[in-house]
Amino acid sequence: MILQSWICTPPLRGRKKPDSGAGDDAVSPVVGVMLMLVVTIIIAAIVSSFAGGLGSTSEKAPVATLDIKMFAGPNEKNVTIEHLGGDSLATKDLKIVSSFTVPEKWGSSELEKSGCLIKHTIDGSLAPVKENAIDTEVPGYPFTPQVTNDDSIVSTRTAEKTFGTATLVPGGRLTFNRDNFLGFETGVYSKYGFGEGVTVNVMIVHTGNGKVLFDKDVIVPW
């Protein structure tokens, strides 16, 4: 923005400079500087107001105490997330990441895929439909990481019961099929070695602000 245009006129030699113009040369630069200061102050106020508005609309991070129960035996094939206290959690804002490394042996037999990582993510922002279920035909399954969310019933306490529609309230729980939760056939023990004493890392993230609500190595009993 051009605030003022200046034209420089050299004084005439041998002629006295009129007194009437003496004040203009002194006042004009001062007016220009004042205008620039006013514009600068206005811009700074607008920027500050905008930044303050952004800060006030940021989503508050929820606080919740969670626990996970998981078993390796054939009689209990579910994984349960329990809400022990804190804020209610809309499952559409949650992402569950599980990581399991195939052990060296199952019993006395060495496992071919020993040391291979199986990582699976359940994303509540995905529509809870069959089309978003685990794809067992994907190349490298189950060692190819997948992000899924099928139409399984996970809650019985709220009107909406699927992950992504249900709300996890204090004192409530979400229940998943173990295979769907971990992303592989956990009952094929001789191939993946999912048995008593194995460790599964489970991380639950609130996607609205990136806060990690739960991050724990779960030692699985039989």
Q: Which domain holds residue 69?
A: 64-220
Q: Tell me whether residue 28 is in a domain.
A: no
Q: Tell me whether residue 156 is in a domain.
A: yes
pTM: 0.74
Q: Tell me whether residue 68 is in a domain.
A: yes
Q: What is the pLDDT of residue 198?
A: 98
Total domain count for the chain? 1
Phi/psi for 195 (5° steps) reads: -135, -170
Q: Tell me whether residue 105 is in a domain.
A: yes
Left, alpha or beta for 143 (phi > 0: left; psi -120 to 50: alpha)?
Answer: alpha
**Tokens linked to 38:** 């006013």
Q: What is the DSSP string of 65-109?
A: EEEEEE--STT--EEEEEEEEES-EEGGGEEEEEEEE--SEETTE
Q: Tell me whether residue 160 is in a domain.
A: yes
Distance of CA 131 to the CA centre of its chain: 23
Q: Tell me whether residue 31 is in a domain.
A: no
**Tokens linked to 177:** 């099929």
Per-residue pLDDT of the chain (222 residues; tens, 9 = 90+): 333 444 443 444 454 555 555 555 555 666 677 777 777 888 776 766 655 554 544 568 899 999 999 999 999 999 999 999 999 999 999 999 999 999 999 999 999 999 999 999 999 999 999 999 999 999 999 999 999 999 999 998 888 999 999 999 999 999 999 999 999 999 999 999 999 999 999 999 999 999 999 999 999 999
Calpha distance 216→222 (Å, rounded): 19
Calpha distance 122→96 (Å, rounded): 5
